[in-house]
Chains A and B, each alone.
Chain A
Amino acid sequence: MAHMMADSSPTTGLKQRLAHPPTKVRSKFVRVLRAYPLVFIGGLMVLALIFVAVFADKLATFNPNFQFANGLAPDGAPLAPNHTFIMGTDDLGRDVYSRLLFGARVSLEVGVFASLISLFIGTTLGIISGYYGGFVDSVIMRITDIMLAFPFILFVVALVAVLSPSITNIFIAIGVLGWAVTARIVRAEVMKVKEFEYVQAARALGSRQWRILFKIILPNIMAPVIVLTTLAIGNNMLLESTLSYLGIGVQPPTASWGSMLSEGQQVFEYAPWLLYYPGLALMLAVLGFNLLGDGLRELFNPRRVR
């Protein structure tokens, strides 16, 4: 932070510009990291999550779905964290640590794929709506209004119920239904950007429509969209947990953070670790994506970082 303040003081700024001194031009990447250390932390958290999800089977100490005979106390209560089960066991005698690792897979998969589906649908519809306007715009925006007016969870629950619950169907449902916000933001950005004179200049130069849409407008609207998508990954992870918590997410015995919370709450009073670990994991994962999203916004702004 001290570094940032020094840079923004007017005297140094002026001196730098007058003297053209950048003897060693540090890459933009490094400059962003130094100016916004939280991005770095967010990025590390996300990387850690990805690492854990990818190598869940290597990192796990046990089979996540195996019910250990020695995983329960004589009275049938779950075991508190100990040497064998480092995060304890759940009420069926399964290893919480291993389940948490495999749960990361589910969470990340749903979060990322659902967001990508929404990104694709939302961006496509938003660009069409914003660039062409008129009747097409009205139709798309009315559909968007309906999507946003309908209680989202109910919508997803209904769709998952129709498709039958599975990881794939969850992210399809979330993705296919969750594009409305993206479409609105993309539309607004396109409408703003297309009036800029550099777009007019491209038209005056004879650019074809695809060139204007994809090489001029798209790069100029991507910053908020990527930020939104990153934040949406976190949100969709939460949503998967909600669905699993409600019992229409992943089906037992598959572990997901939401289903772990759901199962854990029944024995919460004497086995609180069943809520602590998945809750903490979920919080950190969402926080990581949010920090990363904020940082990306800076990275994509050519003016902000010097």
Chain B
Amino acid sequence: MSEALLQVRNLKKHFPIRKGVMRRISGQVRAVDGVSFEVGAGETFGLVGESGCGKSTAGRSILRLIEPTAGQILFGGKDIRKLRKGQMRLMRREMQIVFQDPYASLNPRYTVRQILEEPMIIHSLFRSPAERQKRVAELLETVGLSASRMDRYPHEFSGGQRQRIGIARALAVDPKLIIADEPVSALDVSVQSQVLNLLDDLQKQLNLSYVFIAHDLSVVKHISDRIGVMYLGQIVELGESDQLYENPLHPYTQALLSAVPIPDPEARRERIILQGDLPSPANPPKGCYFHPRCKDCMEVCRTQAPEWKEVKPGRFVACHLYD
């Protein structure tokens, strides 16, 4: 792995719970509770986990769309949490986001041209209208859409095409890093692969880094170089994508992977069914957050939180089984 472009260290986002007339803070939802990972230039880092585990909150905290509670976010060595408003605005040219829902992520009152011109106007990138139009056409071609349709409104496009427009918008400022927040989970399976391939091609062409957030393991495996598995606001296992899939260490990862369907009717395999629901992040279990649902739960898991340690080079896990 080359020099890390993005380093996230012990990122936390706690949402206060307010109660009563005086709106006193009565508790904290620990949506993201100490997440650390690195993304190198040109690398794709996958972040997986079930709904509500905090992966989207983590992604948005990195961009400061949600202000993180604690931790460091180093981009090119600079802690973006320390940036002032104006500096942060400049930094936004470096890191962009692609959203899950292509129906909510495009302003319905803007034409595609206006949507793609907006980032250029904000950052004064291409000043003359002719230059901007050329750039809009270029961006549309890059994501595989016809430039002749730039004066149409988002509702005139299909879900997959809208997602391409969303990607084009993110590319408009020439970012180095794109946070892809479940970019294909709202799309049909047939369209999913097209969009994934587009992301892949763009990465090669533009040397982009991705933080790819998803709950679909096969999608993540397909696109990611390394993967972090999140559970209840924490990363429980992190490693090279192939290794992690072949030899999952954490019981939660094992359970997740056993749920991936194998496209072979003859294949036999044991499914690990997780018992119970995701516990509330406002009131997480003592000890290891995963212990109430863990098939290998030991005495120590109930009382002590496991340490985050490197069991093999590049392979991290937080589990007492590997103490």
Closest residue on chain A to residue B90 by CB atoms: A206
CB–CB B153/A203 < 8 A:
no
CB–CB A220/B109 < 8 A:
yes
In this assembly, does B96 line the interface, its C-beta being within 8 Å of a C-beta of chain A? yes
CB–CB A211/B106 < 8 A:
no
Residue total for B at the interface (Cβ-Cβ under 8 A)? 28
Chain B binder among A161-169, A180-188, A192-200: A192-200
- The interface residues of chain B lying within 8 Å CB-to-CB of A3 are none
In this assembly, does A216 line the interface, its C-beta being within 8 Å of a C-beta of chain B? yes
In this assembly, does A303 line the interface, its C-beta being within 8 Å of a C-beta of chain B? yes
Bound complex: CA A20 to CA B58 (Å): 43
Interface residues of B in 64-97 (CB under 8 A from A): 65, 88-90, 92-93, 96-97
Bound complex: CA A197 to CA B153 (Å): 16
Interface SS of chain B: helix, strand, loop or mixed? loop
Chain A binder among B4-12, B118-126, B196-204, B291-299: B118-126
In this assembly, does B169 line the interface, its C-beta being within 8 Å of a C-beta of chain A? yes
Given contacts A196-B104, A200-B65, contact A205 B109 (CB under 8 A): no
In this assembly, does A5 line the interface, its C-beta being within 8 Å of a C-beta of chain B? no
CB–CB A198/B104 < 8 A:
yes
Bound complex: CA A302 to CA B155 (Å): 8
Closest residue on chain B to residue A223 by CB atoms: B109
Bound complex: CA A302 to CA B123 (Å): 28
Q: A217 CB to closest chain B CB, in angstroms?
A: 10
CB–CB A203/B65 < 8 A:
yes
CB–CB A219/B99 < 8 A:
no
Q: B81 CB to closest chain A CB, in angstroms?
A: 16
User: B44-71 vs A: 1/0 string, CB under 8 Å?
Assistant: 0000000000000000100101000000
Interchain CB contact (< 8 A) of B105 among A201, A206, A216 = A201
In this assembly, does B108 line the interface, its C-beta being within 8 Å of a C-beta of chain A? yes
In this assembly, does B107 line the interface, its C-beta being within 8 Å of a C-beta of chain A? yes
Closest residue on chain B to residue A220 by CB atoms: B109
Bound complex: CA A184 to CA B264 (Å): 57
- The interface residues of chain B lying within 8 Å CB-to-CB of A201 are 97, 99, 105, 166, 169
In this assembly, does B101 line the interface, its C-beta being within 8 Å of a C-beta of chain A? yes
User: A28-46 vs B: 1/0 string, CB under 8 Å?
Assistant: 0000000000000000000
Bound complex: CA A211 to CA B107 (Å): 13
Closest residue on chain B to residue A204 by CB atoms: B97
In this assembly, does B173 line the interface, its C-beta being within 8 Å of a C-beta of chain A? yes
CB–CB B122/A198 < 8 A:
no
Which of B63, B92, B107, B108 gathers most chain A CB within 10 Å?
B107
CB–CB B155/A204 < 8 A:
no
In this assembly, does A207 line the interface, its C-beta being within 8 Å of a C-beta of chain B? yes
Closest residue on chain A to residue B100 by CB atoms: A197
Bound complex: CA A197 to CA B102 (Å): 9
CB–CB B108/A200 < 8 A:
no
CB–CB A302/B108 < 8 A:
yes
CB–CB A197/B119 < 8 A:
no
Bound complex: CA A216 to CA B99 (Å): 17
CB–CB B101/A197 < 8 A:
yes
Bound complex: CA A202 to CA B99 (Å): 12
Bound complex: CA A87 to CA B104 (Å): 57
Closest residue on chain B to residue A222 by CB atoms: B109
Q: B276 CB to closest chain A CB, in angstroms?
A: 30
Closest residue on chain A to residue B169 by CB atoms: A201
Closest residue on chain B to residue A215 by CB atoms: B118
- The interface residues of chain B lying within 8 Å CB-to-CB of A203 are 65
User: B138-173 vs A: 1/0 string, CB under 8 Å?
Assistant: 000000000000000101000000000010010001
Given contacts A197-B99, A302-B153, contact A205 B92 (CB under 8 A): yes
CB–CB A198/B105 < 8 A:
yes
- The interface residues of chain B lying within 8 Å CB-to-CB of A211 are 122
Interchain CB contact (< 8 A) of A216 among B100, B101, B107 = B107
Bound complex: CA A205 to CA B107 (Å): 14
CB–CB A207/B122 < 8 A:
yes
Q: B208 CB to closest chain A CB, in angstroms?
A: 15
- The interface residues of chain A lying within 8 Å CB-to-CB of B123 are 205-206
CB–CB B122/A205 < 8 A:
yes
Bound complex: CA A215 to CA B65 (Å): 19
Given contacts A197-B99, A200-B99, A302-B153, contact A206 B108 (CB under 8 A): no
What are the 7 closest A-B residue pairs judged by CB atoms, nearest first? A206-B92, A197-B105, A206-B89, A197-B99, A198-B107, A197-B104, A205-B119
A-B contact pairs, 25 of them (CB 8 A): A196-B104, A196-B105, A197-B100, A197-B105, A198-B104, A198-B105, A200-B65, A200-B97, A201-B169, A204-B63, A204-B92, A204-B97, A205-B92, A205-B96, A205-B169, A206-B88, A206-B90, A206-B92, A206-B119, A206-B123, A207-B122, A208-B89, A208-B122, A302-B155, A303-B155
